[in-house]
Structures are given as C-alpha cells and as structure tokens.
Structure 1
Amino acid sequence: MVGRFLVDRRGYSLTWTAAFLAFLLVPLLVLGIEIGRWEHARGELYKAADLAALAAAAEVDIPHFRDTGEVRLLPGAADVARRYVAANTGYLTRNGISAHVAGIGVDQARREVQVSVAADVSRLFPAWVPAVTIAGRGTAEVRGMAW
C-alpha cells in the first residue's frame, strides 16, 4: 500500500508550492510588519524631536537676543525639551521604550535651535534582530527683531 504512494507522483507540485509559499510569504509578511513598526517609531521620534526643538526655541533669552542678535538658551531649555519628548512619544512609551534628548545646540548663522533625540527600539523586533537605534533631529528657527 505504501509503495503505491511512493510511485504515484501526483500531488507533489501542490506540496512544493505550499512549501515554497510558506518559506516565501511568511518572511515577507514578517518583514512588512517589522518595517511598519520601525516607520511608526521613527515618525513618532521625529515628531517629538521637532516639538522639542520648538519648545527649546521658546526658551531663548529674549533680552539678550534683542540686544546682541545672539541666540542663547535659558538654563531650563534642556528640561523643557526632555518633557516635550516624553509627552510626545506615546507609542514608544506603551512599548516600554524611552526616547531621550541626545543633545541641544544652537546654529548662530541660521538662528536655529537643534534638538537631537534617540531611542533604542529593539523591543519592537524579535530577539534575533540586532539592536536597532533610531536617531532624529528637529530644528526650529528663532525669529524676532535683533537690535
């Protein structure tokens, strides 16, 4: 009885097709999901960086800027930027990921405040994926009349 099944080759193509699709479609599906998670996390991190830059730009020493034209941040600017990053990374926080302010800088030539934000988003991916870190930078222009 078993010998008859070994000789009869009907159905082999169905088996090979099913195996091929399983080894092709499942990884593609997983890849699509992982790329979607990464893009969502990256978008949220960039949004938080932009909002933190706007918040830090609001913490400019206005009298000094008016007198000299130099952009100088108040001492609390870094803390304000950190609070804005924490308040605008809900998706990351729900997944146990904390974004942090990597740096705050001022470009005097462009009159811009730049905030760099980074997060290790490895928790969004399976354990076999190497460490994934996303970094983004937000900029905000300081406008006003410098005398």
Structure 2
Amino acid sequence: MSEPSRDDTTPVPVVGPAAPAASGPAAVDEPAERGALEIAFSVVRRIAEYAADSTEGTVRTERRVVGVGLGESGATAKVSGYGDQVDLRLEVPLAYPAPIALTVEAVRGNVRERVETLTGYGVRGLDVTVSALTVPAGPPAPTRRTE
C-alpha cells in the first residue's frame, strides 16, 4: 500500500519527546507582561443594567409615545470614573407595592457585586433613583362582548 500524498499544508503528527519550551513573547507567563485589558464603560453600563434588572422587586416598563408601544425598558445606568474606580448612576423602575428601601439596597448590592466581579473595577459611588412604581402585569383581563 502506498502512503497518501502530503503537501506543505497538511499537518504532520509529531511523535517523540515533547518540544522544548518556546522562548520569546509567546512564552511570557506573567499577565502584566502579556498586555493590557481595557473594559469600556459601555460594557460596565450593560452589566450594571442587567444586574439591576435581575434583582427581585425591579420591573420592566412599557415605553409608549403618543399611545404607541415602543417595547420595554428596565434600569438605565450612566458610568463615569478614572483608573480602576467607577461611579454609577442608576434609574430603576420598581414593582408596586414593594419595600422601596429594601429593594434599592438589594439593587445596590447586586450591581456592586456583579460589576466588581466581572470587570475588576471598584465601585466608588452608586446612586439609585427610583424612576417609576409600576404594578406588575398580571394575566390579561377578560374582554367583554356586547351583542
């Protein structure tokens, strides 16, 4: 039997002792020497909004302009900062009735934990504004028909 032909692009299996450790840029093990990681504030904003929206007691509200529904919106965030510290300003709609102070404290804790864990930024300031109190949507009310 003849061996299948190989060209220069076909990988050739290597059998034998392990190759010696590479030297140069690929061999650098220290994270600080490999390069920098920058996380944009827009990413921090999305993490904060998602964390706030996933906190129990927050709701998404329907956006309407002149009676036309434009979808839903939840928490909105603004991020500023310098270095490895960020300041967050959140606007959060809450369910009604709800213990506002307890819900806001839960939002603060959840947002702070998620932002610090996922990004490495320290949260220096975290202001929360309750933008709305909304009765959560239940099952649709039955419609009446008159004949």
Question: One fold, TM greater than 0.5?
Answer: no
After TM superposition, the score normalised by the length of structure 2 is 0.33
Structure with more relative contact order (C-alpha pairs < 8 Å, separation 6 or more): 1
After TM superposition, the score normalised by the length of structure 1 is 0.33
Query: Higher helix proportion, which one?
Result: 1
Query: Higher strand proportion, which one?
Result: 2
